[in-house]
Amino acid sequence: MATVALDTTRSQAPSAWTIRWRRLRRFPWLPVVLLAPVVICGVFGGWIFPHDPTAIDLMSPRKVPAWLDGGDWSYVLGTDQFGRDLLSRLMEGARVALEVALASVVLSSLIGVSAGMVAGYYGGVADNILMRVADTIFAIPAILLIILIGGAVGGGFLTVLVSIVIVSWVLYARVIRGETLVLRERGFVALARVANCSDFRILFRHILPNVMPTCIVLMTLQAGFALLIEAAITFIGLGIQPPATTWGLLVAEGRPYIATAWWIPTFAGTAITVTVLGANLMGDWLQDRFNPRLRQI
């Protein structure tokens, strides 16, 4: 009887192909597909532009997309009001979007994670000062604060970047502080203190690796937030200025032509929506993978 039971157990064990198939099914295919064009255009756009995104052709303004009547396949997505190729401008906008997202996420995470670990580990005066500053920034609506900064300093890439960092580091600091408060009471931190490790070593060799999964999830989610903020403030004229090309600027420039050349703002708005959706879906997937209570093994 025991032998029969053992054989039955072995026969029900999943095969190697079944295990591989389950892993493939859990791979975030949709977020990767949504984000891949942005990454490819942002990195390799300079080599694959169909046309110069800044070249003006006043003989071909507002040409319709290629699949509509009167369209030209040399301008797949049509042209804008100045005859510039819309596909090339969207690809150039992807490069700017990638730069804004990466730079703002890296700077925000560095500031926020450092502040959160210091506040959570030391407590006391350091915790009170850092968290009160964070609470003050968190209490002001992000868009309003960025508009105030843009109106006072003026538009430009640096203004957009600094504005996003100012409103974004707070989330990292609050979340990482909470995790650090728990980690500093764990046994491995107590053993590190007994071993006479410095506070710097404890923070960056013992606590930082344990908060990195949460930080990665926040970085992914904040990338989509950064894109939305950049597009919003550029749309109202306080962000990145011409002759640069961004998706928010394309939407703003195409707004007067929405009835006669709908493709100018529509494709740019779709690019923003798809990219933010992909970033949020990737963040959700990473959260499921890093959370042991949600992860499927």
Q: pLDDT tens for residues 27-76?
A: 778 889 999 999 998 888 778 888 888 888 888 888 999 888 888 888 99
Is residue 114 scored above 90 in pLDDT? Answer: yes
Is residue 2 scored above 50 in pLDDT? Answer: no
H-type helices in the chain, by residue range?
Answer: 2-12, 16-26, 29-48, 86-122, 124-139, 142-153, 157-183, 187-194, 199-201, 208-235, 247-254, 263-290
Residue 35 lies in a domain: no
Residue 135 lies in a domain: yes
- 174-221 pLDDT per residue, tens: 999 999 999 988 888 888 888 888 888 889 888 998 999 889 889 988
Residue 37 lies in a domain: no
Residue 216 lies in a domain: yes
Is residue 100 scored above 80 in pLDDT? Answer: yes
Residue 245 lies in a domain: yes
d(CA 5, CA 183): 45
User: What is the torsion angle, in degrees rounded to the nearest 10, for the CA atoms of residue 139, residue 143, residue 149 and residue 155?
Assistant: 170
Task: Identify the domain containing residue 114 by its residue range.
Answer: 95-290
Residue 77: which residues within 8 A CB-CB, separation 6 or more?
65, 66, 85, 86, 87, 90, 263, 267
We report the CATH number of the domain holding residue 252 as 1.10.3720.10
- 231-251 pLDDT per residue, tens: 888 888 888 888 888 999 999
Preceding peptide of 243 cis, ω within 30°? yes
- Counting every residue written for the chain, the total comes to 297
Residue 20 lies in a domain: no
Total of domains in the chain:
1
Residue 147 lies in a domain: yes
Residue 202 lies in a domain: yes
3-class secondary-structure state, position 184: coil
